[in-house]
Structure 1
Amino acid sequence: MASSADNSTTTTATMDIPEGFTVHTENTAKILLPSETTTFLNPIQEFNRDLSVACISTWGKRWEEAKRAKWEQGGARRGQNKKRKKSGAEKADAKEAEKVGAKEGEAKEEEAKGEQQMDVDSTHAAGGKPETEVEATNGSGEEKRKEYTAPKFVILEALSATGLRAIRYAHEIPLVKYVIANDILPAATEAMRRNVGLNGLGPSPSSAEESGPAKTGKKSEKSDLGKVRVSEMDAIALLYHHRADQHRVEVIDLDPYGTAAPFIDGAVQAVGDGGLLCVTCTDMAVLASNNYPEKCYANYGGVPVKAEFSHEVALRLVLHTVATSAARYGRYITPLVSLSIDFYVRVFVQVRSAPIEVKKAFSQSATYYVCSGCQSPHEQTLGRVVEKPDTNNLTYKAQSGPPIGPECDECGFKFHVAGPMWSGPIHDKTFVGEVLKHVEENPGKYGTEQRMRGMLTVANEELDVPFYFTPSRLSSFFRCNSPPLDSIASALLHRGFEVSRSHACAGSLKTTATRAQVYDILRSWVKLNPVKMENVKDGSPTKKLLSKEPTEEANFSRHPQAISRASQVKLVRYQQNPAPNWGPGSRPNASKRKRDDGAEA
């Protein structure tokens, strides 16, 4: 890795930068950016790229360990088979020895006749022939075991633009065989080839002519097509090209401008069994608001919600889309890391094939009834898995419902329906811990290291329950002063509930308590901090919320578990605006590029 980075540095230092280009450096990669906006690059997403390198590296380590364990198990089975064969041979030799003994008895009876009988060779009687064969074959009497060679995997980046991400993957991730960097725009693929060559990752001169779009797969093993192989194809067509088992790749990265929905169906088929699928969606105006419910349903098969936890809903809608797309082909997903970051969501899911797990998928999908007055969510799963008594057999049944009446018990307002969406865990805590360990063991490797440590630490502590809330928002429903975060957390802990932070929103909490139980604690807070009732309008949610008395007095004194590990260390848990007018950026100016091409013609 270091040598590749050194080569790219030397090349940049000695080459003449073409007119109209500037050098952009990010970690180990250097690329040439044209002054005209013909390719897309957003420097703000360095965190996305850093996180992707860390997650794929961690997954790659797991993948290699699984391959090694399978190889060792195969070796153990081969050894057992050989022992059984040897035992069978010894039994056969024993029978042969019995026959020889009988013949010796007959020979003694015939001694009187004066015939001399030859003894049977002792080595043969003891099974010497097989031993001699082993000795002759191996020279040491033991079979030589093949040495283990770590396998390598292929990454497919369907929408690569400048190739920066693909170059970083090739430089920084261990065990990468090669990266397929694809884009449909000729200007983008031209930029990619230029940048790949700049970093010393392109094809050798002898194989440069063979590296066309149709030859970016696993066909040519002998020719050196480079560690980053540029493809100029429609991304959907490329993904469907890799559907067959012999063409599948181990890692697929989808990082489009906008929604990834059109690419997900092909991606869940093109990724290998146990492979990693990385998906980014930047259309948060669709996913995390209720402004375009029809568009959200068209893209993701679910309806969003107008509530403070809308960014977690966005994550769950994307996971639901990936899960249902995979289920059509007998595959299921395991979310490893799912993060709401800045203006987009980023999920890392493992895809496996197992019909029994696909049957359970509908029990991890749910619709939610969300109160339009106080935002209380109520879960309605689509199905349930029931284990038959005294057996290990499972049955799958539709869920009964709805879980609530037509009006909210807390404030009296009506409900809006959201979903269906993923209702299972959004993180694999073990995997998140491994990624965090990887980051901590490689100080200085990532430019956004502090933020990575902060967000991963919060995600690692996050409870596997939907959804988060903020005390300030809930206090607005009661028209009362907002209680400190630690006070609400302590009150919940004193009542025996679990509490954690959420990575998706600063000042947020997650808890195993229901929203009604949280509101009961807030009513105790109102007793200590009275509300001016003359400011509360009749018929408002506040009027109904305050009309109830708390069932028990809440204890707001500091609980020792209220301070999490994330709060104890100095981490960048929630990013501030890194630059003025930041966001997803603008698409490449295709219309201007066409006008320029026409003028040149």
Structure 2
Amino acid sequence: MCRPLADCTKRKKSTLPPRTAFFRLLDCLLLLTEVEVLVPCISFSRFPPFFFHHFTVLQHELSLPGFSRGSVVAHHPAMRSGLFGTEGLRKETPRGYTVVVEGTTAVLFPPAAGSSTQIGRGFSDIDKEEVGKQRKDDSCAPNCSLNSKEDNTCGEEDEECGQAVFYNPAQVVNRDLSVCVIACFSQLRKEEPKNKGGTRRGITILEALSATGLRAIRYYKEIPDVRFIIANDIDCDAVECIRRNCEFNEVPCVAPTFQENFPSSCIRVDETTGTVESGGAIFANLDDANDLMFRLATNPTVNPGHRLCLAATQNGSCKDGVDTESGEARGIRPLIQQELVDVVDLDPYGSASPFLEGAVRCIREGGLLLVTSTDSAILCGNYPDTCHAKYNTVPTKNAACHEMAVRILLAAVERVANKHRKYIVPLLSLHIDFYVRCFVRVYTQPAEVKLSPCKLGYLIQCNHCPAFWVRQIAVSRMRVKKRSRKLGNAGEDVTAGSQGNVAKSEEHRLSDSGNARGTNEGGEAHKADEWGWERFPAAPSRRENPKIVSPSLQQIFPSSLRGHCCCVCGASVSLSGPIYAAPTQSAPFLGQLLVEIERRASANHITAVARISGLVRVAMEELADTPLFYQLPDVASFVRVRCPPAPLFIGALGRKGYRCSQVHCAPSGIKTDCPPEIVVGVMMQWKKYEEENNERVVEGGKEEDAVLDIHSDRVTSPPAMIEGGGCGSGDGKSNERGTRKKGRVDQRVPLVKPLSDVDFSYDKQFDFRGAVTGVAKFIPNAPNWGPKRKHQGAMHSAVDAP
């Protein structure tokens, strides 16, 4: 008769070695299976870590139920996702480790390779021995590289010594925003029909490049109704860090079994309400991100009843599951496979383009794809050749390069999705600091994929002035029914969307955003009929059975271009693209997101409240049908005048019948459906007013500056005298740039004449400033937010060496 289980779990090194305890416990398990006693009823919380590795290998041979160390925690009735537990915040940090706290999560960092810091006794010798054995079993070299990150900035101290696993506290904006977006998406999944991807069984999340596991742990703690989270990384140091941090934060960490990826016995869901009542866990997975995503996307009907596993080969060859040299059974580890996920989060170090193919394939219908790219220098047009190699787009450097970077990434995701009969619907697309972050939903519809070329566009950019135009790479023709052709009433096919400049005969289309500043209530939209509007046409509906054709050169180039030269300055123009020109924000979703952010902010559950709420508000107010924007100081610099206050300039355009809005990535940027010749013409009129006011000041002999009354009907003084006058804060820089350009040979003179009927009076409805609206939209960056080098690997003790 074997000893009681309590005796088998004692860790007295002098009397009962851990290996002996394992084999004695194994004898007890064999006896229990003979008398048909359920194994999971035993409390395994006191067992040494190596037991669970061996038990997973032996469960197939012993015909034991699927079980892992974390599943015991998952069986606890109070354990589930979205509880905002703070267990790890109250624990003492083990000696030699560094702790970082963010939200409800505390993560431990081992000392970096080459560091003089030694690991203390915060973890037992058994854990250290298991770490070394795990590294041998996974066949990882101590210097294996990391292809993922949590961020890419840190302070000077970390830059000198390096990091064992990548982490950046400055990107808390990214993580807080992701938590809120996925929480809103989880709620939407419950309300949607099944054919659109709706589910009431909870959501599964894949973090393909997890690094420290901080993001995955926060997802489990702060997002309700999560079934399982796969925290994957190619670095064995990072995977060890994920397991350690899950244990430190008391979050269940499990492994796949030979029967299923996600143990169904570890979770209980009320499918009538879609609420996860208990269970769920994190999978700390060591694998290449692309291999994992392609394996998740494999068809489960191929080879039914079989699963892929890893078999360890130490010395010599293996045959039929037996080592030919030693004759012992190999260690077999099941792989996560054939399981589509609801959310895929890609946050690589650099470009996300190598991971887009696998991410689109392994996501469920209507799933959420989160993509981050930190190679802003490439996306913004500094290296067109590299951008074409990675994203299939040739960009040009311009004032709106940050929004251009967002649209290049979206275009790449759209093209990858189209290969698999899928298309994307952007929910939120932002350029933040040094990276691009996009949240899109992926749907399957071959008929909609055929219309995707109408969502992409070419950028026509003047080489010497701020003027630009965006045109579709394909246009749609409305097909005429065959019966009408027989009757002779067909005529010619009508081409839709052939011109981006909306003619005066076209109906005035309003923006999806209700907060865009435009015409007055009285309405002066008829003034814009003379010049038209510069808007990107909406993609046709598949119900109209359109025919997609390539545009002619006359359709691509605006009619205002004389001989393919800029109508504003007469210079040559360049063609770049393609970019994603359809709407990049979903106003209805962003409204729900703001409510979620405010709810979590009131409970102190997120850190960067002001920053993410400001970004979401500006994104929601952006004009949906006007790709790219103008930098007001650049327009003023081209005209050689001091930059006017933004409220006055926007008001002048609004009274002409055009709409204007701010842009999230540039405080001085203005989105408008106004043609570039009107933008420059209004700025020319502002220059004329300024010169007239300066002459009156000189004639009157006044040396002091005049004062601008923002409540007057007309401008009676030099510009930019309003306190905090928006774009006027950059006046000195604009004047300096204009002065330097006077001596340039290639400096162009505007061909546009000033518009005489322009009203620059102040109106509060055209003022975007936070002092007027009461909402701060542009929050300064945190210190030490810039990029840094990759991780340096963790320092290992002697037991870790192979």
Normalising by the residue count of structure 2, what TM-score does the alignment of the two structures yield?
Answer: 0.60
Aligned 1:84-483 pairs, distance under 5 A? 150-203=200-253, 211=255, 218-222=261-265, 227-244=281-298, 247-288=339-380, 290-389=381-480, 392-401=544-553, 402-403=556-557, 404=561, 405-442=563-600, 443=602, 444-464=604-624, 465-483=626-644
- 1:574 matched residue in structure 2: 778
Does residue 9 of the first structure (1) align with residue 86 of the second (2)?
yes
Change (3 A) 1:70 1:476: closer
CA distance in 2, matches of 1:182, 1:71: 24
1:142-176: per-residue Cα shift (whole Å, max 9, x none)? xxxxxxx9320100000000000000101111111
CA distance in 2, matches of 1:534, 1:250: 55
SS in structure 1 at match of 2:264? coil
SS in structure 2 at match of 1:549? coil
- 1:126 matched residue in structure 2: none
Amino acid at match of 1:45: Q
Q: Is the 8 A contact 2:411 2:579 kept in 1?
A: yes
CA distance in 1, matches of 2:79, 2:595: 21
- 1:24 matched residue in structure 2: 100
Which has the higher mean CA deviation after the structures are superposed, 186-195 or 478-487? Answer: 478-487
CA distance in 2, matches of 1:198, 1:216: 29
CA distance in 1, matches of 2:795, 2:775: 43
CA distance in 2, matches of 1:40, 1:57: 25
Q: Is the 8 A contact 1:471 1:484 kept in 2?
A: no
- 1:84 matched residue in structure 2: none
- 1:52 matched residue in structure 2: 178
SS in structure 2 at match of 1:320? helix
**Alpha-carbon deviation of 1:451?**
1.3
SS in structure 1 at match of 2:749? helix
Q: Is the 8 A contact 1:458 1:566 kept in 2?
A: no
Which has the higher mean CA deviation after the structures are superposed, 334-343 or 220-229? Answer: 220-229
Amino acid at match of 2:345: D
**Alpha-carbon deviation of 1:448?**
0.7
Which has the higher mean CA deviation after the structures are superposed, 411-420 or 336-345? Answer: 411-420
For these two proteins, the number of residue pairs brought into alignment is 512
Change (3 A) 1:414 1:454: same
SS in structure 2 at match of 1:507? strand
Whose relative contact order is higher, 1 or 2, with alpha carbons under 8 Å and at least 6 apart?
2
Change (3 A) 1:8 1:437: closer
SS in structure 1 at match of 2:674? coil
SS in structure 2 at match of 1:247? coil
- 1:117 matched residue in structure 2: none
CA distance in 1, matches of 2:575, 2:674: 21
Q: Is the 8 A contact 1:384 1:399 kept in 2?
A: yes
CA distance in 1, matches of 2:347, 2:196: 33
**Alpha-carbon deviation of 1:243?**
1.4
Q: Is the 8 A contact 1:193 1:202 kept in 2?
A: no
Q: Is the 8 A contact 2:89 2:104 kept in 1?
A: no
Which has the higher mean CA deviation after the structures are superposed, 315-324 or 368-377? Answer: 368-377
Change (3 A) 1:170 1:10: closer
SS in structure 1 at match of 2:687? helix
Change (3 A) 1:166 1:216: farther
SS in structure 2 at match of 1:197? helix
Amino acid at match of 1:475: A
SS in structure 1 at match of 2:431? strand
Change (3 A) 1:598 1:555: farther
Amino acid at match of 1:408: C
- 1:121 matched residue in structure 2: none
**Alpha-carbon deviation of 1:479?**
1.4
CA distance in 2, matches of 1:513, 1:598: 68
CA distance in 2, matches of 1:188, 1:521: 56
SS in structure 2 at match of 1:55? helix
Q: Is the 8 A contact 1:524 1:553 kept in 2?
A: no
Normalising by the residue count of structure 1, what TM-score does the alignment of the two structures yield?
Answer: 0.79
- 1:41 matched residue in structure 2: 167
SS in structure 2 at match of 1:529? helix
Which has the higher mean CA deviation after the structures are superposed, 229-238 or 409-418? Answer: 409-418
1:118-142: per-residue Cα shift (whole Å, max 9, x none)? xxxxxxxxxxxxxxxxxxxxxxxxx
Change (3 A) 1:62 1:4: closer
CA distance in 2, matches of 1:299, 1:46: 27
Does residue 510 of the first structure (1) align with residue 714 of the second (2)?
no
Q: Is the 8 A contact 2:648 2:760 kept in 1?
A: yes
CA distance in 1, matches of 2:292, 2:745: 55
**Alpha-carbon deviation of 1:71?**
12
Change (3 A) 1:3 1:319: closer
SS in structure 1 at match of 2:425? strand
Amino acid at match of 1:276: L
- 2:762 matched residue in structure 1: 558
CA distance in 1, matches of 2:79, 2:660: 43
Amino acid at match of 2:185: W
**Alpha-carbon deviation of 1:509?**
0.9
CA distance in 2, matches of 1:352, 1:472: 41
Change (3 A) 1:398 1:34: same
Q: Which runs of 5+ in 2 are unaligned?
A: 1-77, 113-162, 268-278, 300-337, 482-542, 695-734
CA distance in 2, matches of 1:71, 1:349: 14
1:377-436: per-residue Cα shift (whole Å, max 9, x none)? 122311122323579332111122241443212112222222111010010111111101
Amino acid at match of 1:199: N
Q: Which runs of 5+ in 1 are unaligned?
A: 73-148
Amino acid at match of 1:460: M
Q: Is the 8 A contact 1:4 1:199 kept in 2?
A: no
Please identify the structure whose Cα radius of gyration is greater.
1
Amino acid at match of 1:426: T
Amino acid at match of 2:180: A
Q: Percent identity?
A: 32
